[in-house]
Structure 1
Amino acid sequence: MKIALVHDYLKEYGGAEKVLEALHEIWPAAPIYTIFSRLDQNPLLAEKFKDAKIIQSWFGRLPLADKLMSPLRFLIPLIWGSLNFRNYDLVISSASWAIAKGFARGKTKEICYCHTPPRYLYGYETSRDWQRHWYGRLYALVVNHFMRLYDFKQAQKVTWFIANSREVQARIKKFYRCESIVIHPPVDADKLKVQSSKGKVKDYYLTGGRLEKSKNFDLVIKACNQLKAPLKIYGAGTQADYLRSIAGSSIEFLGVVDDKQRQKLMAECRAFIVAATDEDFGITPVEAMGAGRPVIAFRGGGYLETVVEGKTGEFFSESTVESLAAKLKNFDPSKYNKRDCLSQAAKFSQERFVAEIKKFVRNKL
């Protein structure tokens, strides 16, 4: 069976790219089609996909493709339309922002692993703040209307949908009127478990990932500022400079860290904090539990599917500094059992993901 993988674009290494990495490990000979690839700008991403055959679109050959993609999103139909998948038996698409779906034609079937319908099209908070100006809002009003029509049309061409969470499953039903099954993303729980056995808990909270507006890192910083609570933040993103500017003396920025460093940080923290209000799934809380540590999360989105309240973590109910600060002030890490956290994280293991994906493909083809 001839298989192709499709992914929005390759620039950062986050949850969607971890799914793509797992798919690539299952089908290493399958080429990866993408709008643009910037592996040369991200050593971690380059290492993960060093053996992959990556085919980028004509748009990806433009010098500033990664920066032009957002304002020129109206070109997405032309970009995907320029790629030909007719010689493949199966296309497995990994879709979110750039509408990487709708490639089934004739004998070619498609499985779309949907991380979320594009957040910018359906009123969810995004990482960019470009709509703060009136002309940005006007542009979005016009362009996004046509992009929503295109997104819906492409969704109807998908043979089978897989959602990464029940939260996203509900969005697929609401916006596309399509059915889907849920297969949660993979987490390398075994590596984290090794770190958890070595880690001695220290006096700091941890948060991190892509430092973008939608993740509400500013709320976490302000709550820790208020309590003068030690907080370590790893990662990079468009909000990095702003977040540094509001951080007090108890906040430490670590920049980009490798897998081993991140695992050690997680294994030794008091708790891992996540504050996005409508997270699609959220891999980092599962990674923290895989390192044996509890999670403090906003009560909403995908966190409700991963964190077990009172057993592997706690929720704060309002997206305010006061609500999170109150939770941190009363938080007692000694209440949480490492084994409970490890057991919960194991439900989202890499082996489980691979087995479920393979079974789905076998049953459908």
Structure 2
Amino acid sequence: MKVTFIHPDLGLGGAERLVLDAALGLQDLGHEVSVYTSHCDRNHAFMEIKKGLIDYHVYGDFFPRSIAGKFHIIGAIVRQLYLSCFVPTDSDVYIVDQLSASLPLLRLRSDSKIVFYCHFPDQLLAQRSSTIRSIYRLPWDWLEQVTTAVADEILVNSKFTRSVFAKTFTFIKRTPDVIYPCVPIAPSVTSSHMATLIAPYTTVLSINRFERKKNVELAIKAYAKLIHNPSVGAEDKLALKLVIAGGYDPRVSENIEYLSELCTLAKDLRLSYCLRHPGESLDTIDPQINVLFLPSITDSEKTVLLENSRVLLYTPAFEHFGIVPLEAMYAGTPVLAVNSGGPTETVKEDVTGWLRDADDTEAWAKVLYKVCFDDEFINSSYSKMVDNGINHIHNNFSREAMADAFEKIIEKVIKQKHRPPVFLADLTLFTLLFSALAIPIIAFLLYSFL
């Protein structure tokens, strides 16, 4: 079958990783697969994109993402609508994720079936810091709901997201199927330089995009409690490093601001740090530093860090799913995660890791002490936990398992004869876009001539 994925920005995030793995998995099953996106920078993309292992097409990157730093939702919708004008109309199925606004247009252009993968309702991610902003979001929230309802099949990434979906999209009476993201189980390329850098140390690792919702400050605070614990000797303190790594895009102001805030927090907590800016090289790690910030790590560096760290700290609360804990377990690193959201479905307490409350820094520090300095645990239980994590991923979260699940959904949706109604979504989309474009023009004309 011919399968076309439609994704807003093919960068380095968890959503992009899922789309790429699903596309490659279906391609391995013999399907003709292509990915359409509004943006893809080969220098800021996963290795499979750089190597050309998947067919992808970029349309509409010239459209601005926002207007004067505002109205991001309008920019995103316009970019996706333009992109959707170029997808092939002879596809058997479109698999769309993140943004549902173009689903009515896809129905208008083609008889192809539509599967929508909801990572999390967008309206719950939008900021509502004022009454005006909340009122502004209302029509776009409605648009998200009525356009999502146009999909022939709706998927979510976890049972947690499914429960949130039901509470948020009350207009939609269907129950989405769950397809968990996967960990690519294949030989990986590692960075020998990074391995040499961290080899002398015991590494505590945090990998997240540099966004405030990721709550990375929890990792820094827990590490600070451990480092400043009087029972930890001076030599042990020098040997223990916290590495804060992850996705970083210099085009995104929040990434820049949050990285700066984290550096300031480390300084305030009396932690010395080193920051390797994107594109810079790091020849050595000063033994005196506590925290190493590594924005925009490569895939090979990420692999080394995951394979050689003592524990992964996964700090987001109410995370929709969370792929990094799975990557860590597959690499043989136990996980300490927040006791909410997706990780409660993937991290097994005292089997593959631990779950603790996001506001209990003391509890996090205690687990860190156990996994870093408790000789009895390290000698008797740690290796078993490592094996448990690896087996857990192989048995439940392989790319093959995810691709099989997608294939079954595609086969199911192809056979469906009844399709959801589209009129309400068409009307809402036209009204909102007309208003968004016409009101500024009318205001400008009135201002100019009156």
TM-score by length of 1: 0.83
Distance (whole Å) between structure 2 residues aligned to residue 224 and residue 54 of structure 1: 43
- Alignment of 1:22 with 2:71, yes or no, is no
Deviation at 1:4, TM superposition (A): 2.2
Q: Tell me the alpha carbon deviations over residues 108-138 of structure 1, each in whole angstroms, 9 at most, x when there is no partner.
A: 21111221111xx12x5x7xxx766xxxx34
- Partners of 2:245 and 2:294 within 8 A in 1: yes
Aligned counterpart, 2:212? 213
Q: More displaced, 148-157 or 14-23?
A: 14-23
The aligned amino acid for 1:180 is: P
Provide the secondary structure at the position in 2 that maps to 1:5: strand
Deviation at 1:31, TM superposition (A): 4.0
Structure showing greater Rg: 2
- Alignment of 1:360 with 2:359, yes or no, is no
- Partners of 2:190 and 2:301 within 8 A in 1: no
Change (3 A) 1:214 1:290: same
- Alignment of 1:61 with 2:62, yes or no, is yes
Residues matched between the structures, number: 347
Provide the secondary structure at the position in 2 that maps to 1:319: coil
Provide the secondary structure at the position in 2 that maps to 1:276: coil
Change (3 A) 1:13 1:291: same
Aligned counterpart, 2:299? 259
Distance (whole Å) between structure 2 residues aligned to residue 243 and residue 321 of structure 1: 16
Deviation at 1:352, TM superposition (A): 1.3
- Partners of 2:8 and 2:39 within 8 A in 1: no
Aligned counterpart, 1:342? 390
Change (3 A) 1:44 1:356: closer
Change (3 A) 1:360 1:44: closer
Change (3 A) 1:305 1:311: same
The aligned amino acid for 1:114 is: C
Aligned counterpart, 2:428? none
Distance (whole Å) between structure 2 residues aligned to residue 23 and residue 78 of structure 1: 26
Q: More displaced, 296-305 or 94-103?
A: 94-103
- Partners of 2:210 and 2:246 within 8 A in 1: yes
Aligned counterpart, 2:276? none
The aligned amino acid for 1:71 is: F
The aligned amino acid for 2:50 is: E
TM-score by length of 2: 0.69
- Partners of 1:193 and 1:292 within 8 A in 2: no
Aligned counterpart, 2:351? 311
Change (3 A) 1:70 1:350: farther
RMSD: 3.1
Distance (whole Å) between structure 1 residues aligned to residue 246 and residue 351 of structure 2: 28
Provide the secondary structure at the position in 2 that maps to 1:157: coil
Q: Tell me the alpha carbon deviations over residues 224-267 of structure 1, each in whole angstroms, 9 at most, x when there is no partner.
A: 12222531121243122221222212111233222222122112
Listed as ranges, the matches of 1:250-329 within 5 Å are 250-329=290-369
Change (3 A) 1:315 1:110: same
Q: Which runs of 5+ in 2 are unaligned?
A: 228-239, 249-254, 273-289, 415-450
Change (3 A) 1:131 1:141: closer
- Alignment of 1:47 with 2:50, yes or no, is yes
Q: Which runs of 5+ in 1 are unaligned?
A: none
Distance (whole Å) between structure 2 residues aligned to residue 351 and residue 328 of structure 1: 34
Distance (whole Å) between structure 2 residues aligned to residue 50 and residue 193 of structure 1: 16
Give identity over the alignment, percent: 22
